[in-house]
Amino acid sequence: MKKTLLAAIGAALAFASPASAGPADTLNGPYLGAEAGGSVSGTTVETEAGSYDLYGQGAAGGIFAGYGMTFGNFYVGGEVNGTFGSLKSEDLGASIEKDYGYGLAARGGYLLGSGTLGYGVIGWERARFDLKDEVSSSKEWVDGLRLGAGIEQAVSDTVTARGELNFIKWQGKDFGVDNIDAHEINAKVGLSYRFN
């Protein structure tokens, strides 16, 4: 999984290469896209018998749609997304798995060159978690705060490529008698089609 994360970050840097040039106005207007990459997570589970830490990794993917506009060299936009993957942490007969979710985010950035956008992300995520042990299973929706940064490159008049790194702090949540407190780091690369 570490190789997957490194490959995703490397692809993000490659997208910023000056060799990939496109018109800056490609970044204006509505868009639709898909992305894939990997995630790592850390989770503290508190039970009646004590607490323990779980660490996991898995694939991450999703679809997204949004709208953005440039104002001089500045960019402002908003985005909704659906996520899926197989992020799982397990140890000592217990496991917690995040399967799918959705969210919305604001994006703001600055044009670094010809069709190259550096941007930051702040948003809200909601995902389905499944906590299992040797005798029971419990599923709950959990909310989280998403902070991220990325680079997006116009590769044609209608297509952009991007690489993004996110940190998600999941809200503490009760699963019956157990409580979880989790965070996640994911790296993804994606392509989007601009309807401009």
pLDDT number for residue 43: 83
By percentage, how much of the chain surpasses pLDDT 90? 53
Phi–psi pair at 21, nearest 5 degrees: -115, 145
Count of C-beta atoms within a 10 Å radius of residue 54:
20
- Of residues 20 and 116, more confidence is placed in 116
Cα–Cα distance for residue pair 99/35, rounded to 1 Å? 16
Distance of CA 17 to the CA centre of its chain: 22
How do residues 181-195 score in pLDDT, each as one tens digit? Answer: 889 999 999 999 999
**pTM for the full model?**
0.82
CB-CB contact of 58 with 86 (8 Å): yes
CB-CB contact of 67 with 78 (8 Å): yes
How do residues 10-32 score in pLDDT, each as one tens digit? Answer: 544 444 444 333 456 789 999 99
Please list, residue by residue across 75-98, b when 16 or more beta carbons sit within 10 angstroms of its beta carbon and e when fewer do: bebebebebbbebbbeeeebbbbb
